[in-house]
Amino acid sequence: MVAATSDRGGKQGSRKGPAAGTNRADTVGGELERRIARIEFAEGAVTRLRVPVPAPGADAGREILTDIDVLSLDVDLRLRVSRSSAECKSERGQAGEPKELVWLAGFRQLLNLDRVTLVRPTISSRGRELARRLKISTLDERTIAQRENANKWLPERFAHLDGPECTAAETRTDAQLKGLPTLTPELTQFLRGDALLAQPSALLSGVEMFGDAVVRQGALPEPAASVLAGHALFAIVLAGVQDAGTLDARTPGELRAAREQDLVDPTLFSLLDRADDLIRHVVTRVHRAYVDQGAEPLTVTAPSLRESIARPLPYLDDYVDFVERLRSNPTIARDLLQTTELACFEVLLGGDAWKSPAFGHLFTAEHKGLLLVALRCLTRVAGEQTASHLAGLHELKTFSGQVGVPDRSMAPRPPSATTAPAELPSEQLPIEGIE
């Protein structure tokens, strides 16, 4: 995915950026972003780097307002999702510090984020005091180094944390999308970025629209087909986790009714209700006229346009089943976004970082089981043509369990020295409806 650049005006906007053609991931700022994202991932969040923020209604060429340096999604044991961003500045000194904090306060409100963090090599006492007043977190180099030391065993790059295989696939997908007119920029941008901030109804609607577009477009080239399918599966999991977090306050039946109402245009229901009222009125008048002329009264029931058109969405049974499975196993479900990220954008794209012992807890039989339920749900929502590109998830290998106390302070071994985990027997995955 093409990274956007910030345009915030003032001195920050006039700073000299990297030379033309320089990959942002290879700059000092890009390295700082990756270090923060790596810490967040190690502490349980799924993270993405350089997520574009669209500017609705903007003129052509100015559709991107700015980008989120590091976007993190945390899930607790009650499956409540919280979103946070980190603004990373590699420049030393206090220049621009107050302005950055005030900007972050507005940025949090704009995107409805739960937490924002300013990351700088040093934070002045004035900056810390202002951050406290604005309820903004801060991180300096000393704190970053301490947290990194506790998680050295995590690979340096993987999946969307500048993993080489993922980066190459996303870059190639950018080029391929230019020749796929049915897959509009708005749709693909939603799946690859905006979906991270979206609510369940928008996620389900976006994935369904993507599936329809894939059918109209026909066969998609690789790696675009696998990359976009991976983003669609991630959207399904994110929607399911968010809805699972609400099942303490409502029943599955109420959830289903809410999704039906959200996913069907309410103005259509209003028009259909008015049309039904008109038909009943006309039928009643005609019937009364016959009775007035001496005909025998008859009971006539006019068919309902609303009931004929607004039929239940065919995938809701599978989706609600997926949500209930998530809520019944929150210890595993809270990790599923991380598992999906690694499975789709590291394992299936040919990376080796997922084999690290640091990720062993994300590849158990239970994680694989829930991931396959999500894949089945994706098949129902987006269609077989989309989901078929993720068929390799059925062959996903799992860790049989972690022995002893891991040494998190040791850097990971090279991929060639890492032994692939053994696959558990399929009998340990008793999931109805999945072959």
Contact status, residue 111 vs residue 65, Cβ threshold 8 Å: no
In a domain, 433, yes or no: no
Determine the pLDDT at residue 306.
61
DSSP string for 153-169:
TS-SSBTTBT-HHHHHH
In a domain, 5, yes or no: no
In a domain, 278, yes or no: yes
- What gap in Å lies between CA 162 and CA 100, rounded to an integer? 25
DSSP string for 321-345:
HHHHHHHH-HHHHTTHHHHHHHIII
Contact status, residue 289 vs residue 354, Cβ threshold 8 Å: no
Q: Residue with structure tokens 């977190």?
A: 137
Query: Is 293 found in the same domain as 250?
Result: no
Query: Is 418 found in the same domain as 317?
Result: yes
More confident residue, 407 or 392: 392
pLDDT interval class at 416 (50, 70, 90): low
Question: For the chain, what is the domain count?
Answer: 3
pLDDT tens per residue across span 340-369: 999 999 999 999 999 999 999 999 999 999
Query: For the chain, first and last CA: distance in Å?
Result: 33
Determine the pLDDT at residue 15.
47
Query: Is 319 found in the same domain as 276?
Result: no
- CATH at residue 145: 3.40.1350.10
Q: Which stretches of 43-124 are DSSP H helices? A: 97-111
Average pLDDT over residues 177-202: 96
Paired strand residues for 118: 87, 138
Paired strand residues for 85: 71, 116
Query: Is 350 found in the same domain as 244?
Result: yes
Determine the pLDDT at residue 401.
54
Query: Is 30 found in the same domain as 134?
Result: yes
Query: Is 187 found in the same domain as 64?
Result: no
Q: Which residues contact 243 (CB under 8 A, 6 or more apart)?
A: 200, 255, 259, 323
Query: Is 170 found in the same domain as 136?
Result: no
Determine the pLDDT at residue 124.
94
Structural domain of residue 230, as residue ranges?
164-254+313-428
pLDDT tens per residue across span 211-227: 999 999 999 999 999 99
**How remote is the C-alpha of 415 from its chain's centroid?**
27
More confident residue, 272 or 74: 74
pLDDT interval class at 286 (50, 70, 90): confident
pLDDT above 60: residue 139: yes
pLDDT above 60: residue 412: yes
In a domain, 134, yes or no: yes
Query: Is 330 found in the same domain as 189?
Result: yes
What tokens were used for 233? 């599966």
Contact status, residue 373 vs residue 431, Cβ threshold 8 Å: yes
Query: Is 336 found in the same domain as 288?
Result: no
In a domain, 41, yes or no: yes
Contact status, residue 67 vs residue 5, Cβ threshold 8 Å: yes
Q: Per DSSP, which regions of 56-206 are E strands?
A: 64-75, 81-88, 115-119, 137-139
Query: Is 38 found in the same domain as 143?
Result: yes
pLDDT tens per residue across span 44-73: 999 999 999 998 888 888 889 999 999 999
In a domain, 52, yes or no: yes
In a domain, 11, yes or no: no
- What gap in Å lies between CA 45 and CA 74, rounded to an integer? 5
pLDDT above 60: residue 116: yes
Q: Could you tell me which of 330, 373, 418 has the C-alpha nearest to residue 153?
A: 418
Last residue of one domain, picked from the residues 125, 149, 173: 149
pLDDT above 50: residue 6: no
> What average pLDDT does the chain have?
87
Query: Is 279 found in the same domain as 217?
Result: no
Query: Is 304 found in the same domain as 402?
Result: no
In a domain, 434, yes or no: no
Last residue of one domain, picked from the residues 123, 149, 175: 149
Determine the pLDDT at residue 42.
97
